[in-house]
C-alpha cells in the first residue's frame, strides 16, 4: 500500500465530503473500502527528507506555469470542471492518492476519479486538445495518463500515453 509523506486529516476536499466520495466510489464499483480522511495536495505538501532535495523540489515546482495539483477546464460541450489531486486514508489506515474531477457548479458533484496506490500523489498539467488534462508521476519522464471527454456519452475517460 501507499506510504505517503503526508497524512490526510480532513473530512472534505473543496466542499466534497468524504461521505460523498465514498458514495461515488461505491456507485461506480471502485472499491468496497471506505475513506475516513481526505486532504487536497498543494505545493507545500511535497516535502523532502533533506534540505538540498527540498530546494530542488521547490525549484521544479516554481518552474511550472500552472498549478500541478489543481486544474480547471471546459469540455467541448461547455461544461466546467476542476481536477484536484488528493491523498486519502481508508478507515483501516491504508492510504492512496486520487484525482477528483468535480463539476464547477454551485453544488459540487464528483464527475470522475482516478486512484492509485503506488505513490503519494501525482502531478497535473494541461492537455493539448482534444486532451483536457494530463497526469503523471513526473513532469519530464513521459509516463502520463491523458483525460478525454466523450461529449456524446457525457463521460470522461483516461488513456495511458506511455513513455
5 occurs within a structural domain: no
Residue 2 — very low, low, confident or very high, per pLDDT cuts 50/70/90? very low
Q: Which of 1, 30, 4 minimizes the C-alpha distance to 86?
A: 4
Q: What is the DSSP string of 87-136?
A: EEEETTS-EEEEEEEEE-SSS--EEEEEEESSSS--EEEEPPTT--EEEE
88 occurs within a structural domain: yes
pLDDT in tens, 94-116: 888 899 999 998 888 999 998 88
Domain count of the fold of the chain: 1
pLDDT of residue 100: 94
Residue 74 pLDDT exceeds 60: yes
pLDDT of residue 5: 56
Residue numbers of the domain that contains 41: 12-160
CA distance 112 to 98: 10
pLDDT in tens, 46-65: 788 889 988 998 998 899 99
7 occurs within a structural domain: no
CB neighbours of residue 119 within 10 Å: 13
pLDDT of residue 163: 59
145 occurs within a structural domain: yes
Mean pLDDT lowest among 39-43, 50-54, 116-120: 116-120
2 occurs within a structural domain: no
CA distance 49 to 160: 31
1 occurs within a structural domain: no
3 occurs within a structural domain: no
149 occurs within a structural domain: yes
Amino acid at each position: 500500500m501507499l506510504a505517503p509523506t503526508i497524512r490526510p486529516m480532513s473530512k472534505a476536499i473543496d466542499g466534497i465530503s468524504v461521505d460523498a466520495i465514498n458514495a461515488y466510489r461505491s456507485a461506480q464499483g471502485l472499491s468496497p473500502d471506505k475513506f475516513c480522511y481526505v486532504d487536497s495536495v498543494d505545493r507545500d505538501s511535497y516535502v523532502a527528507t533533506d534540505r538540498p532535495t527540498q530546494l530542488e523540489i521547490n525549484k521544479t515546482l516554481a518552474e511550472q506555469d500552472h498549478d500541478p495539483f489543481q486544474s480547471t477546464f471546459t469540455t467541448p460541450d461547455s461544461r466546467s470542471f476542476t481536477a484536484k489531486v488528493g491523498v486519502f486514508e481508508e478507515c483501516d489506515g491504508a492510504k492512496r492518492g486520487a484525482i477528483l474531477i468535480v463539476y464547477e457548479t454551485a453544488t459540487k458533484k464528483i464527475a470522475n476519479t482516478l486512484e492509485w496506490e503506488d505513490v503519494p500523489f501525482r502531478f497535473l498539467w494541461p492537455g493539448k486538445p482534444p486532451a483536457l488534462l494530463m497526469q503523471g508521476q513526473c513532469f519530464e519522464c513521459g509516463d502520463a495518463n491523458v483525460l478525454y471527454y466523450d461529449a456524446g456519452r457525457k463521460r470522461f475517460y483516461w488513456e495511458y500515453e506511455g513513455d
